[in-house]
Amino acid sequence: SLGDIPILINTSFNLRGEPIVESPIDALICFFNCEMDYLLLENFLIAKQDNNVIPKAFLQKNSYELD
């Protein structure tokens, strides 16, 4: 490999049963409602452990209908 940096690339960025992420707000909503640790959004690296309080506007229901 070229480098030894582990990375996961999800080609369909969304939660199961939800539409594909199409905007920065969609990305934040998805990030705060899943088990991702980090979100790289344009020039910002957002780490979940740095955010002790998740704004209510970014929280969604806990369960999703399956496809």
Average pLDDT value for residue range 1-5: 69
- What is the C-alpha separation between 66 and 40, in angstroms, rounded? 27
Residue 13's identity, in one-letter code, is F
Confidence of residue 47 (pLDDT cuts 50, 70, 90): confident
**How large is the average pLDDT for residues 59-63?**
59
Q: Which residues contact 51 (CB under 8 A, 6 or more apart)?
A: 32
d(CA 52, CA 36): 15
10-43 per-position pLDDT tens digit: 678 888 888 899 999 899 888 888 888 889 888 8
Collect all residues with Cβ–Cβ distance below 8 Å to 67 and sequence separation of at least 6: 16, 17
Using the predicted structure, report yes or no on whether residue 59 has a pLDDT greater than 80.
no
